[in-house]
Structure 1
Amino acid sequence: MMFQDVVIVIPAYEPDDRLLELLKNIRDKENQMFDIILVDDGSGADFAPLFAIAQSNYACHLQRHADNKGKGRALKTAISYILDNFPNAKGIVTIDSDGQHTYEDMMKCLAEFLQHPDSLVLGVRTFEKSVPLRSKFGNLLTRDVLGAMTGMNVSDTQTGLRVIPMSWLPKLLTVEGERYEFEMNMLLEAKEDNILICEVGIATIYLDENQSSHFDAIRDSIRIYKVFFKYIFSALFSFLVDIVAFTILISLFNGLSFSAVTLASILARAISSVVNFTLNHKVVFKRGQSNSAIKYFTLVVVQIVLSSLLVTVLGNALTTLPISLVKILVDGTLFFVSYFVQKHLIFSGGENEG
């Protein structure tokens, strides 16, 4: 595979001369080696001359949206165009139009992709004191939330410089998100599909305190974090279902023997696990069931055995406590143990190389 087997994708909304500077830099150094897909995401008539220059002077394949649809939709438009017109390409590299990414950093990411052609390569920035506060805070918060919720270790969750394998493009067309949240959902999909994530350090460039960014701190943040809010709701709701079901069942069995607690735990966990798995795949991530179901329910079985044993022992030892409270304490502890197991031992898909 050669560099020219990768197609460049540049989504642009109301760009300035920095887009032309980027294109000039690419063409001056590589001439016509790369095919470039430029998506005008509804910038309007005032920006038509700039896109015309990009098309005529720098041989860009121009795709247009009649109105602004968002970065996610712009990337999907480019992906659809590439699948139809460049079937022999090996991958795409996405790069922002606002001057945050350089030709040199793009080539570093492509060099990494040549070594790992089936991976998702991210050009990651370091967030030092010179980085605008809103950009630094937002990215670090998203990184930590992603790590806490999924166990993924991604240094820069919001980077727009990415190299994506061609074989994965059809799947990305089905990923939810029309705006900036699409890039976050792409990372979640990488974990689900066991796509290796490779990181390449790049320059951290913020021009004019990042004033040219079209990122809406409130609306776009809500879109990005929506999946995490759904995940938390799913976990809490399923936990509540488990406790209520266990309380009802143990009262019907009228006993605290190991067999009674085990049977109540199995039935309660069976109900809550189906609820949790269904919510995660149909509501939270909106994906069909996959091989993750086998891993998930294997872990559930182990948790049921441990929960039953501990609830039986503690329930008979701590007779002054309601059995439901004992169940909450035991399962609350097992929740953190389960999280550690999922993060480090079971769900290893989407891990990254630095």
Structure 2
Amino acid sequence: MEPVVVLIPALNPLPTIIEFVEKLEKLAVEKIIIINDGSDEKYKKTFKTLHNNGHVVLTHEQNYGKGHSIKTGLRYLLNSPFHGKGIITVGAHGQHSVLDVEQMISSTKIFSDGIILGVREFKNSDYSVLHHLHNRANSMLFELFFHKRLLDIQTGLRYVPRQHLAWLHQVKGESFSFDTNMLVEAIRRKVQLYEVPIGHAKLRKNSVIYYDEVMHPAKISQQLWVNFRKNNGRS
């Protein structure tokens, strides 16, 4: 199986990221790139360990946002020799399991021509009912505006084939808006979007991941509206 490159945008990551990355290395992965997006000083040791373990660590001196971090990783990758068939973006806070990533990699054998989204199981008790309803509402808005039904437009676990990386790093958006803009641009370019179920990781009770997978549904709805107006020539 052709390997993939894993991109991990990280702001104040959990210490478990070290063990997690080592397990990912045993999969069909060519290299792992971690982007330190202005993490606090106390996390410096974690990133140093990742670097010493042979992984690429790119550092922002201040926090720019998840979208900016992914584009930093993409620019590095596009200016380096690599043979992977694409990239997988993965969260740094334990919300994705090794099994989730392995499942995504396996799915690339079937859906090799398009972008693959890892769809989370919102009936899982780790997610609140409100979060589930917000996600459904935004999915309905997305379908209404862009005529494409997607179950989870907020997921941070995504695969993008290498033939689409050149335009991906030019997508606007520095934080969570990048995720939405990426999907809209893919539809505009007629890139296939596929979904596979994930959800093997368990979130800590009452934990909220603001960086990797934004939990601000109103802002997501607003971003969808902005994209809709832009695509329809409205200011």
- Given the two structures, how large is their TM-score scaled by the length of structure 2? 0.88
Map Cα deviations across residues 261-307 of structure 1 (whole Å, 9 max, x no partner).
Answer: xxxxxxxxxxxxxxx8433xxx5xxxxxxxxxxxxxxxxxxxxxxxx
Question: Which residue, out of 132, 153, 156, partners 1:160?
Answer: 156
Name the counterpart of 1:10: 8
Question: Which residue, out of 208, 213, 219, partners 1:211?
Answer: 208
> Does the residue aligned with 1:9 lie in a helix, a strand or coil?
strand
User: What amino acid maps onto 2:17 in structure 1?
Assistant: L
Which structure dedicates a bigger proportion of its chain to helix?
Answer: 1
Name the counterpart of 1:171: 167
Name the counterpart of 2:55: 60
Structure with greater contact order relative to length (CA < 8 Å, sep ≥ 6): 2
**Structure 1 residue 88 displacement after superposition:** 3.3
> Does the residue aligned with 2:33 lie in a helix, a strand or coil?
strand
Name the counterpart of 1:188: 184
> Does the residue aligned with 1:63 lie in a helix, a strand or coil?
strand
Paired residues, what number? Answer: 232
Query: Within 5 Å, which residues of 2 pair with 1:39-58?
Result: 39-57=35-53
The separation in 2 between residues aligned to 1:139 and 1:159, in whole angstroms, is 10
Contact 2:176/2:214 (<8 A) preserved? no
Contact 2:2/2:85 (<8 A) preserved? no
User: What amino acid maps onto 2:101 in structure 1?
Assistant: M
Question: Which residue, out of 34, 41, 54, partners 2:30?
Answer: 34
The answer to whether the aligner puts 1:117 opposite 2:115 as a matched pair is no
The separation in 2 between residues aligned to 1:25 and 1:17, in whole angstroms, is 14
Percent identity over the alignment?
28
User: What amino acid maps onto 2:210 in structure 1?
Assistant: S
Name the counterpart of 1:99: 94
The separation in 1 between residues aligned to 2:30 and 2:14, in whole angstroms, is 22
**Structure 1 residue 109 displacement after superposition:** 1.1
Query: Within 5 Å, which residues of 2 pair with 1:289-304?
Result: none
User: What amino acid maps onto 1:198 in structure 2?
Assistant: Y
Closer/same/farther in 2, CA of residues 129 and 16 from structure 1, 3 Å limit: closer
> Does the residue aligned with 1:179 lie in a helix, a strand or coil?
coil
User: What amino acid maps onto 2:185 in structure 1?
Assistant: E
The answer to whether the aligner puts 1:149 opposite 2:104 as a matched pair is no
Query: Within 5 Å, which residues of 2 pair with 1:284-323?
Result: none
Contact 1:44/1:67 (<8 A) preserved? no
Closer/same/farther in 2, CA of residues 213 and 170 from structure 1, 3 Å limit: same
**Structure 1 residue 44 displacement after superposition:** 2.7
Contact 2:58/2:73 (<8 A) preserved? yes
Query: Within 5 Å, which residues of 2 pair with 1:261-272?
Result: none
- Given the two structures, how large is their TM-score scaled by the length of structure 1? 0.60
Name the counterpart of 2:233: 278
**Structure 1 residue 3 displacement after superposition:** 3.8
User: What amino acid maps onto 2:22 in structure 1?
Assistant: K
Closer/same/farther in 2, CA of residues 195 and 23 from structure 1, 3 Å limit: same
Can you give the 5+ residue segments of structure 2 that lack an aligned partner in the other structure?
none
User: What amino acid maps onto 1:99 in structure 2?
Assistant: G
Which structure dedicates a bigger proportion of its chain to strand?
Answer: 2
User: What amino acid maps onto 1:84 in structure 2?
Assistant: N
Closer/same/farther in 2, CA of residues 84 and 45 from structure 1, 3 Å limit: same
Closer/same/farther in 2, CA of residues 277 and 136 from structure 1, 3 Å limit: closer
- Which protein shows a greater Rg? 1
Name the counterpart of 1:246: none
| RMSD, aligned α-carbons | 2.4
